[in-house]
Structure 1
């Protein structure tokens, strides 16, 4: 009669081998998927760049493309069906001396600090598919110009200037200003000012301000946020944030504010991240009663920058 311990050890080893094998198969599938999508992005970028072929182009230059895809759910106590999907595609065109990019997004990429978990925030409720060509005098220039389609498929033109100024060894100021024209929404402008303070080696404090004027409604949208970026290790970080935003018509008033703690972690793949963000949201149209939520997101990067 075989020894019970030997039999048990055999089955445990067999089970472990099957588990490892399944994990390896999943890892192979994941890496293969990422490789196929990345190659497709680069092939598409090269195909588009070939329209501007230049015989004098150096052979070692090639078109680059990147895709950023983020999916998430953001249920909260007053809205359990909040869903987030964000896509950004950017193609660099060496045949145009890397001064022109093709950009496709389904959100306003300038709104990195908006109230992300508030669903139809004032700053993002008009976001939609945006397709544009961006031109810079030089790749490192802070001045850029865009023409394209966005905001319910309106054609638009936009000019933007952004730069940064080091105020001390630990304090940096970043600013940008833009002016745009949409064929139905007419003119608009936005101003942004951000201060980054390196409090310590692993903690960055940020104070962000943004104002946007809309000619169509003749009012200003305003936003302020205070954030703390705490690095836990090389693959994990925690972001503490308090965000407020409002409008100036019919009077200068607060529309909503939010407090959140976000954990962002890189997986075993350097192109795949996930986020867990508990938050509390207060909104004017909900009588500023607290709404409790939890956002879960996954984000992937494909292609080559």
Structure 2
């Protein structure tokens, strides 16, 4: 699992025993519609995972341990220059035990998991029209921190990617996360990226994160960079406040900033441990709009489902 989520799970997806007790139906009454929808969604994707896993099984007995996990997010992110701003995000992981749990099938609406929590307008500028991605992820049998992907993505291109990801705990409060990737697309050709994050746990309720990431495109012969600073403040067992400063830019025609984003977000799961609500007021400055400030607010709900942990992508 990405160690960042291990560090932030205490802040952003805390689901304590107390919360579970509050959400339980002690009288055994019939679950309300959202629970039925959640069970149906999980069952549907688990059945798909078992069917796919059966393709690789050497017996006719279905692998009941095969399963799927993922998340789906719906949002409305209007701003002063764009009142529509509707956004849908999804990510699905199929676990395939017939392949010795060394291979996953991944399906998402974007290849870059590092952008999945960004404001839609900000994400569209950074992703450069990347779209639905379907890939097989292989874990290296010899190197625990290395994985590979092959599949289709970024405007229907065939791609292959190698990823190295690890972390180093500097002390009890500070952790360094780092990763690097190299990939090839049949039209965009070679590309690389590297990133590092510093996590600083100030207290049991406050976590700071500073992330810097670089991308290089062989086709465009340019670098893209991103800088992000965040503070996670735990308000209670089911709520987190997240303040964000985000900048990104390019190296051509010269090193410049493309956008600046400042936001503050309240994330909470008061009804179910798998269902989150977010309210995020933000201010966005874009180079293509002459850095005139635009104001907006994002309203979202996000549902996690299925077997295992949906963050393990």
TM-score by length of 2: 0.85
The equivalent residue for 2:20 is: none
User: Partners of 1:102 and 1:93 in 2: how far apart?
Assistant: 8
Match for residue 83 of structure 2 among 80, 84, 87: 80
Question: Deviation string for 1:172-209 (max 9, x for gaps)?
Answer: 00000000000001110000100000011100000000
The alignment covers a number of residue pairs equal to: 280
The answer to whether the aligner puts 1:124 opposite 2:134 as a matched pair is: no
Runs of 4+ in structure 1 over 6 Å off? none
**CA–CA separation in structure 2 for the residues paired with 1:118 and 1:175:** 26
* Distance in 2, Cα, partners of 1:240 & 1:117: 17
Could you tell me the TM-score, scaled by structure 1's length?
0.87
Paired with 2:116 and 2:45, the residues of 1 have a C-alpha distance of 28
Query: Which residue is equivalent to 1:180?
Result: 183
2: distance between equivalents of 1:108 and 1:251?
Answer: 27
Partner of 2:50: 46
Aligned to 1:6: none
Instruction: Evaluate the alpha carbon distance shift between residue 125 and residue 60 of structure 1 in structure 2; reply closer, same or farther with a 3 A threshold.
Output: closer
Question: Aligned pair in 2 of structure 1 residues 264, 114: CA closer, same or farther (>3 Å)?
Answer: closer
Residues 146-197 of structure 1 show CA distances to partners (whole Å, capped at 9, x for unaligned) of 1000011100000001001001110000000000000001110000100000
Distance 1:115 1:249 in 2: 23
Name the SS of the counterpart of 1:187 in structure 2: strand
Higher relative contact order (CA 8 A, sep 6+): 2
Displacement of 1:111: 1.6
Within-5 A mapping of 1:18-37: 28-37=32-41
Cα gap change, 1:206 to 1:278, in 2 (>3 Å): same
Contact 1:115 1:121 in 2 (8 A): no
Q: CA deviation at 1:143?
A: 0.5
**Structure 1 gap ranges (5+):** 1-24
2:30 and 2:224 map into 1 onto residues whose CA distance is 46
Q: Kindly provide the CA deviation profile for residues 84-115 of structure 1, in whole angstroms up to 9, marking residues without a partner as x.
A: 11111100111111000000000134324774
Question: Any conservation in 2 of the 1:159–1:180 contact (CA below 8 Å)?
Answer: yes
Aligned residue among 214, 222, 226 for 2:225: 222
Across the aligned residues of Structure 1 and Structure 2, the Cα RMSD in angstroms comes to: 2.2
Q: Which moved more, 1:237-246 or 1:27-36?
A: 27-36
Larger radius of gyration: 1
Which ranges of structure 2 fall in alignment gaps of 5 or more residues? 1-28, 309-313
